[in-house]
Structure formats: C-alpha cells, structure tokens
Structure 1
Amino acid sequence: MVNFYREFPKLLDYILDSESDPEIGELCACGEGISTCCCRDCTFYRPTCAPCFVKSHLGSNPFHWAEVWNGTHFERHDISEVVPGTVLTVGHTTDRGNQCPYADYSKPLGFILTCLNGTHRTKVVFCECKASTVKRYDHLMSMEIFPSTLSRPESGFTFTLLRDFHLQTLTSKKSSYDYMEAIRCKTNNAFPQDVPDMYKNFVRVQRVWRALSNIKRNGQGHNIDKFLPFRPKGSVLVPCFACPEPEFNTPKEANTVTICNSNIAHSIIRHVDMLYIMMDGHFGLQRFAMVDDPDDISLLRGMGFFPVDDEYNAFVLGDLLTSEEKATCSKFNAVEMQNKLKFKGCVITGVLGVECGRHSIFLSMVDLQKGERFGNADFALARALRRFLPALTLGRAKFFKHIVVTYDVACQYFVKLKERFKLSFPLSDVSVMVDMIHMLVPKMHLAGHKEDCRYRFSLNYFDGAGRLHGEGIEPSWAETKQSGGSTQHMNHGHRHDTIIDFHNYWNWRKNRMMSGRLEEQLNEATKMRSKMIMQYKSLSRGHGQDKIEGWLKEPTAATRAPNGEWKSPYRMHTNPSIETADMYFLVPTQEEIMQSFHSKEKSDDAPQEAGASVVFDALKIEEKQRELRALVKSQSTPADDLKERRTKLSGEIKRWRKRYIKAAPLVESLIAAAPQAETIEDESLHLPSSITLAERTKLGLLNLSIYELKLREGEANTAVVGICNSLIHENLLSGVQRQHSRGVYQNTRSHQFINRVKAKRKAYAAQYRECRRRLLELNNLPSTATLPGYPTLQAKDMFQKNATQTRVLGEGKETDSWIWSYGNLRDMDEKEKLEFLSDGQYDYSFGVGGVN
C-alpha cells in the first residue's frame, strides 16, 4: 500500500482526466458539427457531435448514456434526448437499426428501460410489420428486453441486467431493493430520488426470470425427461452426479463389482451402491406472519425441493393432531432444546432439508410449522427417496441394499420409523425402502448423546461408512442463512421460488467443484492407506492370530443384553473380572536377554561370561538411581527416608564395584581417577557406554560392551512395553473416574491413582531415552544419528486412542504412534516391509490372513 500512497497525486490525475476530454469543443470528425458528446460506456470513444452520436449508437448500442457538454459541465442524456425526434424502433428485426415503414413515429411511446448502466426514459415505437400476430411483449423479448407486464408494457428490464442481478444475488444474497437502489445511483448519484423507482416491477420480473432460468438450466426447455425417464417429471433440481443412481451412473444389477479382475463379495464393497443421506432442521429460514397474497403461488410448485402445498399441509395437519413425540435420549432433544421465543410471530419456523451424505447436495426440503417434528422429517425423507423411484417399480426400490441416513436425533427418530412410513405412505415403494434404512447420528452431534447412543448410532462403527462424518449439511445452512433476512418477509410462493433458486445454485457449485475435491480426497486416502494397513497388520501380529480370528467371529452391531445394557465389540468394559487383551511385542526384554546369557554360561562353562551379570546388576543400580532422583525432585519424600535410601544404595554400589574390578581389572585406575559425585544417585558407574571407544579398547572392556549393548536393547524394549501398559492403565482409570467418581473427595482420590500411573510412564520414558543415548555411545554414533529399531521418543508418541470411550472427532485420520507396533516390523528392510504391506494372503474383510 505504501507504493500506491506515494503515487496518489498521479493516480488522481488519471481519474480526473477520464471525466473530461481535450477534444470537447473541437470540430467533429464529420466536419459539420462541434464535438459535444462523450460515451463512457464505449471503450476509447472519441467525442462527436450529437447527430454522429445517435448514428453510431442507435443501431447497436441504443442504451448507452450520452455525456453532453453544455458549456459548463457534462449532462447525462438518453439517446432520445440527444437529438429531438430520435426514437428507438422495437421489434423491427428485418432491418435492424432502421425505422419500420408501417409504424407511426409521430406519437412515440414513453418507455422506462432499466439496464446495467441505469434507468432510461426513452422514446420507442413498436414495429407494425406483423401487427396482427405479434404482441408488444414479443417485440421486447426479441430485443432481449423483459417487459414488466404482458398486456401493454411501458417499462422493461434488459436480459443483461437480469443475468447480472441473478448471479449477484446467488453469490452474495443481495436483495432486490438494494440492487435497484444501486441502479438508481448509477443513473443519477447526486439526485437518485429523481430517477423512477422500478423496484416493485423488478421484484415481479426477476422472480419470473429465476423460475425460467431454473427450467432452462435443468433441460426442461429441451424435453430432458424424454432422455432421463427414470427421474421425476418436470424436475428442476440440480442432482448429484456422483451418488449412485440406477440406469444413470450404475448398472441395473450391482450385486458384484469387479475390482482388479477379481470378484469381491458385495458385502465387503457394499458402499459402492449404498445411498447416503443427511437430514437436519434449520431455523434461519423463518417466515413471519404477515398479510399474504392468496394468489401468490410458487412458479416452481412441485418441481423443486418443496412439495405441493395441498398434499404437504394435509399430511402435516394430521401428524400434528395425532403424533406424540417423546425423547428417548436424555442428553439430546432437538424439539425441547429450541428456544420457543424465537418462533414468536412466525407462521413458518424454519425448514428441514435432506442432502446426499457424501457430497452435500440438496435433495428435498419442507417447511416447519411447529418446531422440528418427526412428521416433517418423514415427508422430507420420503420425497428424497422418491427422487430415485419416479416409476414406483419394486426393482428400483431394491437397488440400494443399504441406505444410511444421518440425523441428529436418529436415536429417537428411528424407533417407530417403519411403522410411521407404512402408515403414512402405504401405496408407495418408499415404504419398502424404509426396511433398508440404517439411522445413524452425525459425528459431531454424537457427543451430545448418552453413551449407549455413541455405540449404537455411530458412523465410526458402521461397516461401509468409511470416513463419512454426516455433518455436511451444516455448512449448507451457514450459506443458506444469509438469505433469511429477505426471504422471511416474502409471500409464500415467492419465498419458495427464491429458496429453490439459492439451493439449486449451491448444488451446481458443489457439482462444479466436486472433481477437484474428490481428487484431493483420493490422494489423501491413498497416502493414509499404506499407513493404516501397516499399523493394522502390525497390531494384528502383536495380538496374535488366535485372538484376531476370535474377534472376527464377534458381531459388529451393538446388541442389547437381558439387563437392558447395550453391548458392542467396540465398547471396552472396565470390570476387573473381564479379561483384557494384552499386547505382546516380538522383541526380547532385558530379563529374557539375561536368561540367554545365563544359559550360555552353563553350556560353555566360560567364567568370563559372568561379566553379563555384572552389567545386568549395574543397570538395575542405575534404575534405582533414577528412582531416587525422581523422589528428590518431587520433594514429597521425608529426609530420613532419603537418607536411608542413599545409604543402602551406597552399599550396593561398593559391593558391585568389587565385582566390576574383578571382571575388568584395568578399570580400577579409571574409577580412582574420577571425581566423586555430590550425591550417590549421581555417582557414575563407569560402564563401557560412558567412555569412548578408544578407552574401552585400552581398558579391555570390549566384551563387556557387547553385554551392555544387548542388555541396553532389552532395557529399551522393557521401557516401551512399560509405557504402553501405563497408557492402557491410565485410560482405564480415567474411564472409571468419569463413570463413577462424584464430588471432590472421590475425584481427588482418582487423580492420585492416575498421577501415579503418569509418574510411572514418565519414568519409563526417561529410561528409554537414557538407553537410546547409551546405545548411540556403544555404537560410536553422534547423539543426532538415527538408530535403526530405536526411534527418538517424543511426548506426542506417548499416545493411544482411548478405548474406554467412543472415538472423538479427528481420531479417524490418526494412527497410534510407533510404540504400539514396536519391534513387530523391526527386522524387516524396506523391501520386506513393502512385501508385507502388499501380502497377497491379506484378507481385506479385516482379517490378518497369512500374517504369522
């Protein structure tokens, strides 16, 4: 902005120059008059005399303003005012720009024309060549002027203006009133009150334009129903081109789908021809109680999102008188949670919409008269399903083997859904399709439901839902709400037409941008696929094939126990009597390595192998030193206890050093020369990992280095297992706390137990980091080097998805850190990992296949 600010004087000069012309007052190019007329609408137009202006504009640009110099300033004139007697001929298409030989030019009609550059008071004469067969509005429409009325039009609007307003109101939700005020200011910004107010005429015309545009854009002007007979007749809805639609983008029979030249069971890939639908109510599109025009009907009645009023009103009236709705979820009640005061003075409290679940494209919509009721939702859902059943054929009804419907109150809406549908729509195939419906709750709304609902109605645990979140309709409402300020004051039919237009534009934009968005999602899914499969296989390998096969036999759907509790295989029970599924890692622990050394000592009868015991005991002493440092840091241990621990540890170190010197005599000089630490917990044991490679060689510690290397690896393995067990223990305790702890006392006690587990986790993390540092020293590597099999442990790595509760938002894209698959793939190089990942025996029905 600084550069622009510096050039303000120069830029201002250019703007001022554009409002005048040095050729004004000069001789016109025709050589007969003085140049007094400019045209700001034309590009690079040279000033001319008045007759030349009329001659150059009358045939092609009759609606450009003439800026006429009167000696002191420019005056804006319509072309009929530049030269007295200039009249625009309307409808004379045989010889455009010339006068009609049969028209009477002595009595021109005063016509108010509104175009993109303002409102003109012009003079027109209608062509009389075909006066007996052609009406005035025919002449106007042929010149792309939309008349304000069809009987004897005396005003009109250009197609260019109507197209411009239509696009602007679709993108910005600009009102007709504001747009026409801007047009008046374009005409005369100093005195806009002197410009004719065409607002009322414009409201009528632009409404007709909206309806005709929707009919045109959806192919009804070209008899599209003839080519798409399976769609509803006369529909002006922009459909979703990505959702499965029988006889349009899917085969008639979709029982099997060929992938990679091999037939896979339909139950595994049922998402390919599964219909996903979202439902939700929105209270931002209200309509106030006002004097309504009974003759004001929708120009698109029955053709758009809304049903025919007579049919819908009869259905809703019966539902309001007979239905009783009770909340089945104690934590979520859409009707009762609504603030009833905001419905005061409203004859329509909002709308309920239905969208396709994956692409957020509107399918149907109904008005709400008394909050959000099941009857409104039933009618909207049935209307959306009929979009796939125009011929009412049972075969098409059974095309979708499964229909997933997400609704924020699905837990209570689904209870008598089938009974209501079969009662309300007995002769329709939608009553057959309702048997295929699975009602689920969108993921974000699921957090407001009680725990049973989070397992019964979760998209996370439904086979075929994939990454569907079911919340796509919420962003749609955010866009829709912008139009609520104007539509709430409209007549009933006008409001419907406007909302249909806005939502059709939403559907069109979604379809237009869909290819790029789907490509992004595909690329993202491709990147995540390998990561997810690798983790799944590694976890399966860690749990063991017997457990995996047993788990695969369990039903995935939630079932109700005799005691009324809902059980799900994804729901962890924290009862101590229930056996938990512990993981094991394909890596040796420190104790297992030490046992192998003992076995070798006995078999080889080699006394020098006793050095392994010396190193093993040293590592145990280091562990006690870490514990003592942690106690000192916490400042929670009495001084007498610390003193006792230090005395005991000092005796252990002295006894161990005698054994160490016996196993490696040359190390005695190193110990004697080293300075003594201030506290016993900081005393160095002078193991091989604490000195350089040259010193190890000089002191004869190479054999002990090998023992320490193996035992350090085992210690690191043990530390990772301890971290994992601590995280599991912590999640279990947190779940018990949320479920049972009440009040300050119970929560304080619970936190004490949880904090102890956290302290253990921190101790294991410190142990692993220390082991890794020592392993780098033993391998003669710098501290920043990568150590195969032993990654750097960061705070974010000590994480596990909490199995004691349902998934939370965002977890679906995450995988547990490397500690949970630690060691399972350690001995594989990159090639072996790729082969493991693409194992042909891998069962894509969530089994472990040939993994051993």
Structure 2
Amino acid sequence: MTANFIILKDHPNTQWRDDWRDTFLEELVRLEGRGEQRYQTKCGGCLRDADDAIYRCKNCFSDALFCQACIVGLHKDNPFHRVEVWKDNSFDGVTLKSLGLRIQLGHGRDGTCPEKGKCEDFCIVDSSGIHEVALDFCSCARDQPHTVQLLRARLYPATTTNPASAATFRCLRKFHMMSLESKCSAHHFYNSLARETNNNGVFQPRNRYNEFRRMTRQWRHLQMLKRAGRAHSASGAQGTKAGECSLLCPACPQPGKNLPHNGAWRSVPREKRFLYALFLALDANFRMKRKDVSSEEDDPSLGDGIAFFAKVDEYMKHLDENWDQEQEKSTCVAHDAVNEPDREVYGTAASGIGTVDCARHNMKRPNGVGDLQNGERYINMDFMLWKSLENSDKIMELFISYDIVCQWHKNIWQRLSKYKPELRMRGLKRGYVWLIPKFDLPAHIEACNILFSFNLTPFVGQTDGEAPERGWANVNPLASSTKEMGPGARRDALDDHFNDWNHKKIVGLGEFLLERAQKAVGNMSTYRLELLEAELGLPHEVVVTWTKAMELWEEDPSNPNPFKLATKHESMQAIRGRLAEEVSGAVAGDTEDDVRGDLHATEMITMGIHLEAQQRDLGSDTAAVKTHATDRQKTALRERSNKLARKISEWLKIRESFTPLVTSLREADERARTVTARLQPTPGVPVHAMKLWMPSRLASLPQVEVKESHARYEFALREGQAHEALEEIRRLLLVRTHKYQEKDDEARGVAANTRAKTTIQGVDERIRRTSHQYRSARAALVSLGGRLKETEWKQKLRVLNADDVRQRPRATFTRQKREEERPASWIWLAELSESESMDAGMTEALRIEWAKTRARAHRWTEEVDLVEEEMRRVLEFLRWKAEWWKGLIDQRPGLVEDDILREGFTAYARRQSQMQLDLRARFQDNWKDIPCYIQLARDGLGEIPDEPLQGGEGGG
C-alpha cells in the first residue's frame, strides 16, 4: 500500500533531527563533567587556591566550583538547593547538611539569639526534592513555639506537637496549582519529589507521604479561608457561615452587591423581569463515586458546609427524614434517574454527586453540591436547590433547568411541604420556569420538546442549561483519586477544585461576555431581519392573529400551542403507545404467543419499520453520490451499510423466532438469487434492498398464511406512518411555496439566488423522501388490508402519483398575480370534511415556521439585553468587592497592639481590593465599544413594525 503522506524537509522537527540532534545530545552529556571549570584553579567564592574547590550547585545559574566553606556560606539563604561533589572523576550528589549547613529559625536568624534548640534530623519537603536538614530553633526568652517559627520561615509543619517534618510554602503552592490544573494527586506529586531526590534506587529518602498529604489538605483549607477574608473577621475561621468561602458569580443577580440599592429592579414590567432573574441548572455525575472507606468520625471535613457542600449533619438529617418518600414513575421516556432512583452501586458510600450551577456562566452555587447515595433521588436534588438559594431570598424569578425536570417538578411543592421550614420557605412566593437542557431535550417526548424548550420559552435568551456538563469535564479527572479518599478529605478537595473553577470563570468573564455580546448582537440583527422577511406579504390581520396567539401561550402554556399541528388522526407514536397498553399483560405462553423473551411482536414490527426507513435513506444517499465521490463519502456510506447490515441480520433472527416460516422463505429466496447471480457480473443484494419479510410482505405472497395479530399490529402502525408522511408532505409543500415567493421577491444577485435555490433543493429532496415513505406505507396497507378486510382507510390514503405532489392553489398569502390554476390535489382534501372550507388551516405549516422564526428573533434580542445587564452587574460587583475588602481593614480586634500583624492584614486586604479594581478596569477596557455596538444595532434595525414592510423598489 502506498503511503499517503509527504515528509516536509523544512519542518522544524525534521530540521532539528537532521542538523542539530547530535549537537544537543553532546551538550547534555558534556554537562555531566566540569566543563570550562575543568581548568579552574581557584575557589569561585573566596578565590583562594584550593584543592577542595570540588562542589557545584545544580540549582544556581553558575557552574563555578566552590570549596566546602564557600558552598555552605552561599546557601545559607538557599538551603534547599541540590549540591554535587566532584569525586572519582564524576559528580555525585551530596547534602548541604553533610557539609555543615544548619538552618536557623526564630529571631536568631539575624545571629542575635544566644540559645538554640538543635534538631539534627529534620525532614523538609520542597519542590526541588526531599531534604534531610540540621535545624536550630530559637530557645531564648523571646522565642515563639516551634510551629510559629517554622511558619514564619515559610515552612509548613506536619504536626503542631514537636514537629520534625515540614514542607516549604513554595512546594505546597506548586502542588496546589498542579492539582488544580492537571488534577495531579498528592501521591503522584510526592513520588515525583522522591525521584527528584534520588532516581537510581541507591538512596531512598524518608517516607513523609502521609505527612505531606495532611499538610496539603490543611494548606487548601487555609487558602480558602484566607481568600474569603476569614482571617480579618472578628469571629475568625470558627465563625464562617454556610457557603461563605465559595466564590460568587459576579454576573448573576446578587442583591446588595450588584443590583440597584433602591430596589427598583423588583417592580419592573413583566417583559423586563428576566433581566433580574436567576438561571440555575441541576445535574448529577455518577463518575464521582466514593468507595466505602473511612467514616465521618475518622475523617471529618476541615470546612464543613463553608463552601459548596452543605453541612453533613443537616444534609443527612434531611435524607433520613424523607428517605421513605416514594418517587413516581416517569410518564415521559424511561429515564433511569426517575424509574430507578434507588439503584445501588456496590462497594460505594457515594454513587456520585449532584450540583446546582448558575446556568448562564457555568459557576457552582454555594452549598449547591451534595453526595448521592443510591442514584439520583428527588430528595437529594431538592435539598441542593433550596439550600443553594439561602442568600438569594430577594430574587423572585427563577429559571431552573434539569434533564428530568418534566418529572421532577410535578410534585415538587408537595415534597417541599414536608421539608424543614428553612428549606420550605425558600421555595415560596417566587416565579418558576422549568426547562430541559437543549442537548437532553430531543430524548424526551414531543410534549416536553414544546413545554420545556429553551428555544421556545420566552425571556431565556440563548441559555442552554448545559452548565453542569461543562463543569463535569473539568472535575472528572479527579475521580480516580477522590474515590479513594475518606468523606471529609474528598469534600475538602472538591470544594477547593470547584472554587478554582469559579475563580477561572470570574477572571475570564471579560473575554467570555465580550464574545457573547458580539455573537448576540450579530444574530439579533440577522434573525430580526429574517422575521421581517418572513412577514413580507402576509396580511396584517394574519400576523396580528398569530402574534396574539403566541403571546397568550407564552403567558399561559395551557392555551393552544402555536407550535403544534392540529393533528386530526392518531400519530404513529400514539399508536405505539396504544398497542403497548393493549398488550401490557402479554407473557410468553399466551394463546396468541406474541412474546419472545422480553420482546413483544409489536416491538419487533416497530423495529422492522425503523430498519426499513434506514434502508430508504441509505438507498437515497447511495443514489445521490456521484461517480467521482470522495474517499470520505464512500467510506461513510460503506460504514453505514455495514452497520445497517448487522442490525438487519440480528433483527431477522428475532423475526424468524416469531414466524418460523420466514426461515424457509429466506432460504428459497437465497437459492433463487444464487441461480440468477450466475448470469450476472456483480451478484449480491445491496443492503438497502434486503428483504425484511414483514407481515405485509408475507400477505402479498399467495398461499402464505399470515398471523392475524401480527397483520393488525403492522396495519395500525402503517396507517399512522402514512398519515404522518402525508401531513409532512403538505407542510413541506407550503414551505416550498413560501421559499419560491421569497426568492422571487427578495433574492437579488447571483449569491442570493444561489442560496435560495440551494434551500429549495433541500426542501424538494425532503418532499421526495417523504413521498417514498408514504408510498411504502400505503403499499403495506394494500397488502394487509386485503387480508384483514379493511377498506375505510382508502378514502383518505389514496395512490400518490408524482403529479399529486403539488402546492395548494390560491394561497391566501400569495402576492403574485393569480393565474388560471389546476384543481387542488387530493392531498389537500384528504383531511377535510364537506363542511370545512377550502382555506381552513391552509397556513398552519407556514404559521409554525413563522412562530419558530419569531422565537429565534426574540431569543437573540433577549440575549443582547441579558448580556448587557450582566456586564453592568460584573462591573458593579467588582466595585463592591473592592470596597468590601477595604472594609475589612482594622475589623479584627487586637491588631492595634501588634503593628507587625496589623501591617500584614492591611497589606493583604489592600492587595485584594486593588486586584478587584484592576480586574474591573480590564473588563471595562474589553467592553468599551460594546454599548455603542449594541445601540447601533438597535438603531439600525429598529423595532419590528406593527404593519409588515411592503415590497417594491426600495422597500424592505
């Protein structure tokens, strides 16, 4: 096989490999010797002639050689560098401790301490490795506890009682950042330090892994408290309130922080309330399991309830009190989270975690995370939602997204009434809108796709509800390490990671909201113009009627749904549901014998109809591929064919188990094809032409018995399929008529006409395929109807000839000069009774297309309004946060007497305050052109007029 690639001779890697690789390798090996210092005759420090100038430092920039006294003196302030000695014509590692270096702590570091407490074997974990050092504590009258002396030297003690091990702050910061960014575990990080110390197996440093793990956990916790300003509080860390250490989303409405203080935002008109609403998203993650190890008593959390996890006792008490609540079965699709809430994952104490995020900015909510025990129970998710609203009592409008919200929200008020008052009161006197994330919505039934759609629901902008999923992608790599942790350590680690996630989102808001604004403004203009074009030529009264109907439904979803076709027959999905209900009691061994294993004949036939549809699509796509198709197109078709062939093969086995006669019919057909294939140059049957031997095919064969129950099952399904196909054909014809009208009236120039033609060709192809589907369904009805003596269906489902597939005449919305037209095709009369007028429901499909266009235009307009308000809130929040940090100065009592401590507290508060102001200034600079950009878009397009624009020269 010929290699299908070209080696680029001037590629940097190729050039380096050919021209420089050996040079680089030589230089690396050269550094193992003394280099230019081979000829050095004097010590690099004292410049005296010295035969013992044989030491060099691997961490210092210089490669100079020093005598023992100088190398020790140079590293008095760098005691964790790694030193080598030239011995036996090679360098070997040596410790500074063995050369006489001692580390002095306390005020004795300046040489004034007369008394020293010596420690000869102190272990320090640094980012450069693990060091054995000789350390002197200050022991005079001015001394501080050993723990404090270590901390003031930026050494974190492993214990507070006679510490003999510590880690440098530099090392802890390094691990902290590595764990946040690369999800590196303490185990892996510590092992890397051990190998950094010695990687040849000759020497192994003392194992301080358990101590290091304890130090890193405490370090995470202290950093969280410090950044939350708890050190400055009079109540200290002990007085930390629930969720107080979690970073808040500056773009979400935060009463008292980024909303007008006069409270005017609470009384805005209905159409503006969404600007001050809270958008929340709930989800569960079953990758974040925790094994059944340790316990709350053996491993308590350092910060119980102060960040994203709620207090354990409060959460578990809620679960214990409500665990016996029965969870209703799903009336939508078979959601495992609904129908199997108590599925047990063996060997785990937590089967996963649930979370509440702000849906628009992807940040975790305070106290909005909790462990799941046995699956995704409503009582778990209820607690997280209401608990996360603890400091948002003034927010009256909430948009809540959850992938099973259609089931979860049904009895939420009954469940809430049984909870503790502190939860119950948070759910009352608010306005709620329940939604399903955009990615999950297609998996729900049709009713859910309308009632809970972000695209169709007013006042949600372009929110998609998928915020938790983006957070899971960041935290999932932690699963391998956190599943082994005890409960407290795991919560502490996840709290820290979630806070870092929020921090990164906050500092990225400048670019994030800028991109959103640019996209939203462009799409607002595009889709509002599309809506204007869609209304061109429509009678004003029609647009007014549709608009009123839309507004009524938006105010109250119980009103007629403008997005729904007025279906006059039973859909195929409804037929499937009815048949499933009728045979719900069927079991293997019944007289009808329509069950094989756990599969009923209705399900088998439905699968066959789906396979037939896939065959039709594959056949159409294969025919559409030209002779000179690309390799990619051919490969894609071949893979589809192979996959479909495997599906059909497995289904035919099931088919034969229901009707053994199919086996002999297939064998006879195979023999006949074999004889015919001898006369053909390319024998074989393409996948899209393979026979499925449905009951309708058997009914078309003379003297072949067809089981009546199977025939009736397929007949019912085929009738629904035919009606759906006919309805879709009518809808597509109306859309095509309107597209032709748009092309004639609006398309100017080659590019516009090409786009219009491409759109029309796409509609034509959909009409052709749907017509094929109708004809296939009707052919099956003809075959089955003769056996079942059914004839009534023929009145509405007639033969569909190519000439019958034409638009409806004299459409009320046409602006073309009316000409002599043929009578309406039967497809337009099939659903009308004699009492109905010719124009009844004529524009239904067009109305639905208009409704969708209007929804898109309104969602993007709302998105512009939301982003503009969010930018204002971010700037206001950062200003408030800067003032909040300034207010912490001198708040803690006792600082006045200690000038040194007071200076540190003041410096940190001022630095944090300035950081907020700097971030605010950067965001302001990023967004400086956005207000003008938005205003120009609004002024340029204006509001949608009450009356449609008229065509003609200069019109539109």
Same fold (TM over 0.5): yes
| Distance (whole Å) between structure 2 residues aligned to residue 306 and residue 473 of structure 1 | 15
> 2:17 aligned with 1:5, yes or no?
yes
Farther-moved stretch of structure 1 (834-843 vs 366-375):
834-843
- Asked if the contact 2:527/2:857 (under 8 Å) is kept, the reply is no
Cα distance in structure 2, aligned partners of 1:225 and 1:533: 55
Taking structure 1 as reference, are residues 186 and 222 closer, same or farther at Cα in structure 2, changes over 3 Å only?
same
- Provide the residue aligned with 2:362 in structure 1: 360
1:474–1:159: structure 2 CA closer, same or farther, 3 Å change rule?
A: same
Q: Does 1:113 align with 2:128?
A: no
* 1:355 shift after superposition: 0.1
Query: Secondary structure of the equivalent of 1:268?
Result: helix
| Alpha carbons 1:285, 1:349 under 8 Å: kept | yes
Aligned pair in 2 of structure 1 residues 452, 741: CA closer, same or farther (>3 Å)?
A: farther
- Judge conservation of contact 2:296–2:488 (CA < 8 Å) in 1: no
Instruction: Give the counterpart of 1:496 among 480, 487, 491.
Output: 491
2:225 corresponds to 1:215: yes
Residue of structure 2 in register with 1:92 after alignment: 107
How far apart, CA to CA, are the structure 2 residues paired with 1:440 and 1:544? 34
Return the alpha-carbon distance in structure 1 between the equivalents of residues 301 and 322 of structure 2: 24
Q: What TM-score do you get using the length of structure 2 for normalisation?
A: 0.59
The corresponding residue for 1:657 is: none
CA pair 757-80 structure 1, distance change in 2 beyond 3 A: farther
- The two structures, once aligned, show a CA RMSD in angstroms of 4.4
Amino acid at match of 2:780: Y
The farther-off stretch of 489-498 and 327-336 is: 327-336
> Where does residue 161 of structure 2 map in the other structure?
151
In structure 2, the partner of 1:848 is 946
Q: Secondary structure at the match of 2:349?
A: strand
**Is 1:187 paired with 2:197?**
yes
Matches within 5 A, 1:256-405: 266-292=269-295, 294-336=297-339, 340=343, 343-363=345-365, 364-389=368-393, 396=394, 400-405=395-400
Judging changes above 3 Å, is the alpha-carbon distance between structure 1 residues 409 and 293 closer, same or farther for their aligned structure 2 residues? Answer: closer
What SS does structure 2 have at the residue aligned with 1:461? coil
Number of the residue aligned with 2:139: 128
For 1:156, the aligned partner's letter is: A
Structure 2 residue corresponding to 1:572, chosen from 565, 572, 577 = 565
What's the CA shift for 1:301? 0.3
Mapped partners of 1:836, 1:109: distance in 2: 74
Q: Deviations over 1:392-426 (max 9, x none)?
A: xxxx2xxx342000001101111111222233143
Aligned amino acid, residue 72 of structure 2: V
- The separation in 1 between residues aligned to 2:765 and 2:385, in whole angstroms, is 44
CA contact (8 A) 2:225 2:231 kept: yes
Residue aligning to 1:23: 37
- Deviation per CA, 1:60-92: give whole Å up to 9, x if none: 111112111123322222212124xx4221223
Cα deviation for residue 838 of structure 1 reads 4.8
| Residue matched to 1:607 | none
Is the Cα–Cα contact under 8 Å of residues 332 and 409 in structure 1 kept in the other structure? Answer: yes
Q: Residue 257 of structure 2 is aligned with which of 238, 244, 248?
A: 248
Shift of the 358–835 alpha-carbon distance from structure 1 to 2, 3 Å rule, reads closer
Q: SS state of the match for residue 365, structure 1?
A: strand
Deviation at 1:463, TM superposition (A): 1.2
Task: Give the aligned partner of residue 203 of structure 1.
Answer: 213
Out of 97, 113, 138, the position equivalent to 1:80 is 97
Q: Which moved more, 1:245-254 or 1:727-736?
A: 727-736
For residue 269 of structure 1, give the secondary structure of its aligned residue in structure 2.
helix
Q: Which residue of 55, 58, 74 corresponds with 1:56? A: 74
| Residue 8 (structure 1) shift | 1.2
Contact 1:87 1:125 in 2 (8 A): yes
Q: CA deviation at 1:18?
A: 2.8
Q: Which amino acid aligns with 1:37?
A: Y
Q: Structure 1's 536 and 146: CA in aligned 2 closer, same or farther, altered over 3 A?
A: same
The residue that corresponds to 2:414 in the other structure is 419
Q: Percent identity?
A: 24
Is the contact made by 2:540 and 2:948 (CA closer than 8 Å) also made in structure 1? no
User: Which secondary structure does the structure 1 equivalent of 2:478 belong to?
Assistant: helix
Matches of 2:742 and 2:136, distance apart in 1: 101
The one-letter amino acid of 2:225's match is: I
Residue aligned with 2:400, SS:
strand
> Which range moved further: 136-145 or 66-75?
66-75
- Report SS of the residue matched to 1:406: strand
Amino acid at match of 1:112: C
Aligned to 2:932: none
Task: Determine if the alignment matches structure 1 residue 164 to structure 2 residue 182.
Answer: no
Deviation at 1:747, TM superposition (A): 12
Equivalent residue letter for 2:445: K
TM-aligned CA distance change 1:192 to 1:285, over 3 Å: farther
Work out whether residues 571 and 804 of structure 1, in 8 Å CA contact, stay in contact via their aligned partners in 2: no
Q: Give the one of 27, 31, 34 matched to 1:14.
A: 27
Instruction: Tell me what 2:631 maps to.
Output: none
Take 1:378 and 1:423, find their aligned partners in 2: how far apart are those partners? 12
CA distance, structure 2, for counterparts of residue 252 and residue 194 of structure 1: 63
Preserved contact between residue 111 and residue 123 of structure 1 (Cα < 8 Å): yes
Greater alpha carbon shift after TM alignment, 738-747 vs 522-531: 738-747
1:674 aligns with none
Q: Determine whether 1:476 maps to 2:471.
A: yes
2:79 & 2:264 partners in 1: Cα distance? 64
Letter in 2 for 1:138: V
Q: 1:541 to 1:718 in 2, by over 3 A?
A: closer
Please state whether the residue corresponding to 1:542 is helix, strand or coil. Answer: coil
Pairwise mapping of residues 613-652 of structure 1 onto structure 2 (< 5 A)?
none
Summarize the Cα distance change of 1:741–1:428 in structure 2 as closer, same or farther, 3 Å threshold: farther
2:553 to 547, 552, 556: 556
**Residues 321-356 of structure 1: CA distance to partner in whole angstroms, max 9, x if unpaired?**
233332131343424478957x12111111110000
Contact 2:243 2:306 in 1 (8 A): yes
Partner SS for 2:474 = helix
* CA positional deviation for 1:500: 0.5
The alpha carbon displacement at 1:175 in A equals 1.0
Listed as ranges, the matches of 1:592-603 within 5 Å are none
Separation in 1 of the partners of 2:78 and 2:766?
76
Contact 2:102 2:136 in 1 (8 A): yes
Higher RCO (Cα < 8 Å, 6 or more apart): 2
- Whole-Å Cα distance in 2 between the matches of residues 140 and 755 of structure 1? 91
Question: How many equivalent residue pairs?
Answer: 629
**How many angstroms apart in 1 are the aligned matches of 2:568 and 2:440?**
28
Give 1:70's aligned residue. 87
CA distance in structure 2 between the aligned counterparts of 1:736 and 1:253, rounded to whole angstroms: 63
SS in 2 for 1:447: helix
> 3-state SS of the aligned residue for 1:322?
coil
* Residue 515 of structure 1, CA deviation: 1.3
Instruction: Tell me, yes or no, if structure 1 residue 538 matches structure 2 residue 533.
Output: yes
CA 1:448–1:108: 2 relative to 1, 3 Å: closer
Moved more, 425-434 or 316-325: 425-434
Is 1:454–1:806's contact at 8 Å kept on the other side of the alignment?
no
Q: Which of 61, 67, 72 is equivalent to 1:43?
A: 61
Deviations 1:739-787 (A, max 9, x none): 99979836999999899499869xxxxxxxxxxxxxxxxxxxxxxxxxx
Which protein has the larger Cα radius of gyration, Structure 1 or Structure 2?
Answer: 1
